[in-house]
A and B are shown apart, each in its own frame.
Chain A
Amino acid sequence: MATTASIHAHAAPQGFIRKYIFSLDHKVIGLQYYFLALTAVFVGMFLSLLMRIHLIWPQVSLPLVGEIKPETYLSLLTMHGTIMVFFVLTTAPQGGFGNYFLPIQVGAPDMAFPVLNMLSFWTTFIAFVTIIAAFFVTGGAPLHGWTGYAPLSALPNSGPGEQLGADLWVASIALFCIASLMGALNFITTTLDLRAKGMTLMRMPLTCWSWFITAILGLLAFGVLLSAGILLLLDRNLGTSFYVPLVVVNGQVMGHKGGSPLLWQHLFWFFGHPEVYIAILPGMGVTSQVISTFSRKPIFGYKAMAYALMAIGLLGFMVWGHHMFMSGMSPYSAFAFSIMTMAIGVPSAIKTFNWLGTLWGGRIRLQTPMLFAIGFVSLFVSGGLSGPFLAQPVLDIPLHDTYFVVGHFHLIMGVAAIFGIFAATYYWFPKMFGRMMNERLGQIHFFITLAGTYAIFMPMHYLGLAGQTRRYSQFTEVAYQTKLIPLQTFMTYAAFVTIGVQLVFLFNLFWSMFKGPKASDNPWEATTLEWTTATPPPHDNFGGRTPVVYHGPYEYGVPGAARDYIMQTDPATVPSH
């Protein structure tokens, strides 16, 4: 038990604080991340609801925010985007489920560096507190969008939220970068160095592959955002001119000179596009895992799935310019970015067809995790298909500042990633809490959420094609936009229903945690290592044992086997690949 001894120099802690607050146990840290993301998602969702209400009833005074001025709307938009992208879509799939299940699935007793893991979570937590604080300072929350475009974000007097609120925003992002770098370091080292005997890279569950690739993306991307953020702080507070050209604000000539707003855009999107994949790749991993398990079939094209993840990660670093077609870039660069972007369609299609190929002829069990995994595929296709449209400069330029883009990225990186998180929640809940979630409530949650999200985000494509501009707080002043308000009204009603049904999920989650039926160690009859250990897993994951792996992760329906599945740890009785 060399590994157990070397990682688990820390014994199972007893006191409440060491056990649940400043825990070194990757499972507790995973849950901390998960509940942080759960808090954040409800904050972010509340902000979106305020925006949707304001869009169709502009005169209504809302709770907590009062009268919504155009700049208040921009603050809501900024905070919704920032909280959702960083503290939900990055935090839950990677920090939450990755932390909890990566070590177990590769057969390790903990992460490679447990103290670093704890620091990573608490830094994320401080980052979250910092960004929430931006609501409560003079001037309120920033209004430069989650993308923080300069010079708006670089000049403290450019708007009410751009004073202390914007400084807190940058500080929060910088802290989040540092936390994510620590996390990525841990994930990569754990994957490379702590796999159990027999767990070759090509025997890892695809979830581990997706966390591993995501960690590499994070390692390469977050350092760039951190640098960009430092430059922004210097511009804001120390009078440098990295991003700010000679500029006049409210008739006052600012002291800056010669900076380039496009420099921020390049640095930001060099991070920002990989960030999109950081959000979605873990969802792909979970979807692969769940679809294979609930189809009782090996995943179709395991190696192709792993290589497609790598290809998406690699291409993700070469396409940031497609966010900047509007910036007046050279048509030659735009062409190159456009081709690279459309090339991502290839590995994405490989993944989609392999999911369908896995479902094909399977003995499908339509339980809630499976429903959400299939929902993920659906949203991934619907959201993905508008990608090649926006990848072409000639189409992106008219569509860029419309609802079309909002619809596109919400379907593919927002809701699809959320569906990945839901699939993971329903799938791993029995392992994490030792009880089953309610199946009927899960199905209600799934079908209304699926229909609801389509009802919210599909019309956005039509609105965009009709020329409805995004980031506007209201459309009552412009004649051609006014005619589109009925569709906006429909979307707001859909948002009410969709958000309402999330309360069903919340109820199911907490009720099942205490009152759900007890779960067995392997309720889904799955094959990976987490299902070989106790429920919930002991402090060192395998109760002193060190697992030895003989099989690939998805050996379902193997001819000649006693059951319809072979655990990864079963001694090799059947020829294995």
Chain B
Amino acid sequence: MATFSSTITLKDPKLAHGGSGIRPPAVDGGGGGGDDNGYSDYGARLRRARLGTIIALVAVVMVFVALTSAYVVRRGLPVMDERSGSYVRDWMEVNLPTALLLVNTLVLLVSSVTAEFARRQITRRVALVPVESIPGVSIGQERNFPWLPLTALLGLGFLFGQWAAWRELQDRGFALATSASSSFVYLLTATHGVHLAGGVLAMLYAAITSLTRKPVEARRIVVDVTVWYWHFMALLWLYIFALLEFAR
């Protein structure tokens, strides 16, 4: 292990106001000046990318807010029964393959941890760039564990597990159009799956950029926002799983 790295602070001091966006007129944050070594440039880009990610996640949240409200409304909705001519509740509880879904959840949570390792690894690398540029200083060969491909692999594992859960649901007699409840199970898991698949692509893209000559600061931006997105997808899955499990 390099002796230098323990003394390096992992917090990037340039990232003061990430997201609030309200800054006093006298402060120059990304808006001009920038007369230093181009370092604040990456800071500004990182802040902007993070802000953009947060805003994109707001849109994702609204998609799931809409689906959740549809779920809750449909669940409580009485339906006219044509035989008796009266309103009945037709909500059919779905027999979820809970054990399999728990395994999937575990895989996704582990992938969130590995993603976080990837983010911290590249943050550390960025922090070491100024040290590396000092003539005569070598920080030694830090181990670069391929956390990004591992995370993408775990993500694919989760998607495969979800597909297996769908197969299991079919075997238990719950197809997409069987009942409103089963429609929602497929809808919510598929919508989450599509978003996670986007995350897998972003992970692979981030991993591929590490093979290119792109500066580490630029790669760090891609990794950073992808990982935040990934964490959010894990959180979103926990929410969906809880909704399907506890509000059957």
Contact = CB atoms under 8 A, between A and B. Distances in A.
B103 interface: no
Contacts of B180: 240-242, 258-259
B79 A258 contact: yes
Contacts of A3: 30-32, 34, 44
Interface string B173-211: 000110110010001000100000000000000000000
Interface in B51-81: 51-52, 55-56, 58-63, 65-67, 69-70, 73-74, 77, 79-80
B132 to A, nearest CB: 22
Interface in A149-205: 181, 184-185, 188-189, 191-201, 203
A263 B74 contact: yes
Contacts of B40: 2
5 contacts: A189-B55, A201-B22, A223-B65, A266-B73, A267-B66
A193 B21 contact: yes
Given A192-B51, A546-B31, A242 B70 contact: yes
B82 interface: yes
Question: Which of B32, B40, B51, B74 has the most chain A CB atoms inside 10 A of its CB?
Answer: B32
A176 B179 CA distance: 30
Interface residues on B, range: 35 or more
A148 interface: no
A219 B21 contact: no
Interface in B32-51: 32-34, 38, 40-41, 44-45, 47-48, 51
Contacts of B60: 223
Contacts of A197: 25, 28, 31-33
B168 interface: no
Given A6-B45, A192-B51, A223 B59 contact: yes
A113 B52 contact: yes
Question: Which of A184, A195, A255 has the most chain B CB atoms inside 10 A of its CB?
Answer: A195
B85 to A, nearest CB: 12
Given A192-B51, A197-B31, A260-B73, A240 B176 contact: yes
Contacts of B25: 197-200, 203, 549
A234 B187 contact: yes
A58 B65 CA distance: 46
B55 A219 contact: yes
B236 to A, nearest CB: 13
A246 interface: yes
A2 B176 contact: no
Contacts of B65: 223-224
A196 B34 CA distance: 12
Nearest to B43: A2
B44 A2 contact: yes
B82 A193 contact: no
Nearest to A550: B25
Given A6-B45, A193-B48, A263-B70, A224 B34 contact: no
Contacts of B31: 3, 107, 194-197, 199, 546
B52 A6 contact: no
Contact of A267 (B24, B48, B70): B70
Question: Which of B48, B55, B59 has the most chain A CB atoms inside 10 A of its CB?
Answer: B59
B177 A239 contact: yes
A283 B190 CA distance: 39
Nearest to B27: A197
